[in-house]
Amino acid sequence: MKIAYQGEPGAFSEAAARRVAHDAPLVPCRSFEEVFDAVASGRATHGCLPFENSIGGSIHRNYDLLLAHDLPIFAEVELPVVHHLLALPGATRGGLRRVYSHPQGLAQCERFLSTLSNVEIIATYDTAGSAKMVADAGATDAAAIASARAGEVFGLTSLAASVQDFDDNITRFLLVGRAPLKDAVADKTSIVFSLPNEAGSLFKALSVFALRGIDLTKLESRPIPGRPWEYLFYVDLGIARDDVACARALAHLGEFASMLRTLGTYPSWKTHEGRMPDPFEVCS
């Protein structure tokens, strides 16, 4: 098993990948697109990508990429995210003039960042990559919003810890790939569909699940490129695809949906007595 992730060592995506398989080789990638390409080309067997944050919301680009590639979802991972303000040794908060981070990292720390005076906030491609930029520049007037591990990797010190706006800051990652996971029992399914623009069409679509007692754990709409004001609906279902109720619901939806695709059926992320689940193993 080899897992691709977006970012530098110390990125939160790296930590999420380690939760899937703590000893698997990892493939750092510059962009989300590169993660999908690495899996599609065989450079990695799986890709671990963020899809939703409890503060910043959905990472829409990855929803679009998921639809563009034929790579099923095989697992999900939830990762508590603790941000630090990282700078070179000797730097002070009062002397900062620039703070770098990924747009999601910046969005998750808006209240803290608003307390910094005369500081330019600069969006970058990665949280850990921002820490690397600060370290490489050697400037004590710059800092990064990133993980404590990123600080260790790039020799930075923490000027402030837990700077996210809310303590319960959790990012949900999905594992896409080319092979299922060993002994993984699915209890969740992700689908995407589109509907004709008719009165009550969304109500009708959602009713196929409500009538069968199927829980919708997420509903996300995304515009369809080239078709203004038409939308795709991404839905997470709290049930396995092979469950009879789910199979019947999807067959019913398929009768009137313009497009319907199952993106994956997989085990949901759960804690056991306060401990994280054991790492997954990939099927041989």
Which amino acids are annotated catalytic?
171, 173
- 160 alpha carbon, distance to own chain's centre: 25
Q: Are 263 and 190 in contact (CB under 8 A)?
A: yes
Gap between the Cα atoms of 244 and 188, Å rounded: 14
Tokens describing residue 202: 């969304």
Q: What is the residue whose two structure tokens read 């569909």?
A: 193
What sign does the CA torsion over 62, 34, 282, 50 have?
negative
